[in-house]
Amino acid sequence: MAHRRSSYDGVSSIVLYVRLVVGRLACLSVLFGTILIVPPQLVAQVQASDLQGREIIMVTGSTGGLGRAVALAFAGPGTHIIVHGRNVERGQAVVEEAEAVGSTARFLQADLGSLAQVGGLINTIKRDYDRLDLLINNAGIGRGQPNAPREESADGHELRFQVNYLSHLLITRELLPLLRAGAPSRVVSVSSGAQSGGTIHFDDVMLESPPYEGGTAYGQSKLAQVFMTLDLEEELEGTGVTATAVHPGGYLDTDMVAERCVVPGPGCTPTLSPEDGAMFVVNAARSPRSGVYFNTSVVGEINPQALDPATRRRFLELSMQLIGLD
């Protein structure tokens, strides 16, 4: 995807002042052991004026790991990067890295385990932007440690299902008007090879019946992202908005992979760096294709359950009810 160029001349003195204040507050926060919550609106309203001619890119879960690598892979003159995550300090660090190579950038804080916080994130973006060129649904929770107990989100949903899928479905659906306004634009969902062995458990989609297994939950959530990709491709045909899913490859050297490796074993030795994985995501974002699942750099096979239109309609109806968009 070609970057849009601009005549951006730098950040205004107001932005510099705001960042100075925020930076000093952050230092005081660290000094006194408190958690600083910086309202995203504080920086957003100022920086939104510096978007002309820039490709606007949002990467969820981009304060570390693969997401950070993806955000920085797109950073440079001609882009505006929306960094998202839960940790303010890490988020601002990525913003500074992106700006150092010519991007404008901002950080937005939201926990995808809370649909209320996701709603706040969406409202801020709708308020401050009139278009979106690229949405990368990256944030996620991995398989977890062996025999880890089932966890629920703030909304009472199985945690992986909400963070990896439901919250991204809500973000994507609510930001479709901005994506249409930015056409040609793209939605890229970071899925996993686990989609191939996953199953949508219609009789127990929240996996409440024991025994609970993190791998089962992870596979279901990643397959759900492929369902979403195929639905979007069908719905958005002819609009200039395309959708793909991508498996970023092997075992990445990230916290998500490390978490599962309390006991060394197969799959516990990283085979790729986050930057390696980011290149597969970038390739998916630059591809003109829609409605496909990339297994790293090649088109991969999609789980047969996702290929049945009736099954996808049933799942979409259920999902829309769960996020309150039915």
Confidence of residue 146 (pLDDT cuts 50, 70, 90): confident
Beta carbons within 8 Å of 62's beta carbon, 6+ residues apart = 68, 70, 71, 81, 83, 84, 85, 91, 94, 138, 139
Q: For a pLDDT cut of 90, what percent of the chain falls above it? A: 74
Q: What is the pLDDT of residue 142?
A: 87
Q: For a pLDDT cut of 70, what percent of the chain falls above it? A: 79
Q: What is the pLDDT of residue 52?
A: 83
- Contact (CB, 8 A) for 200 and 304: no
Stretch 261-290: mean pLDDT: 82
The CA distance from 295 to 291, in Å, is 13
Q: What is the pLDDT of residue 254?
A: 57
Catalytic residue (one of 165, 218, 251, 293):
218
Stretch 154-166: mean pLDDT: 98
Name the residue ranges covered by the structural domains of the chain.
Answer: 110-322
Q: DSSP E strands: which ranges in the chain?
A: 55-59, 79-85, 104-109, 134-137, 185-190, 241-247, 292-295, 298-299
Higher per-residue confidence, 87 vs 14: 87
In terms of pTM, does the model score above 0.75? yes
Q: What is the pLDDT of residue 255?
A: 59
Residue 67 has pLDDT above 60, yes or no: yes
| 251 among known catalytic residues | no
Per residue in 215-271, pLDDT (tens digit) is 999 999 999 999 999 999 999 999 999 999 999 987 655 555 656 555 555 556 667
Per residue in 45-61, pLDDT (tens digit) is 534 566 888 999 999 99
Q: Which CATH code of 3.40.50.10540, 3.40.50.720, 3.40.50.300, 1.10.10.10 fits the domain covering 110-322?
A: 3.40.50.720
**How do beta strands 292-295 and 298-299 pair?**
antiparallel
* Least confident residue range of 13-27, 81-95, 149-163: 13-27
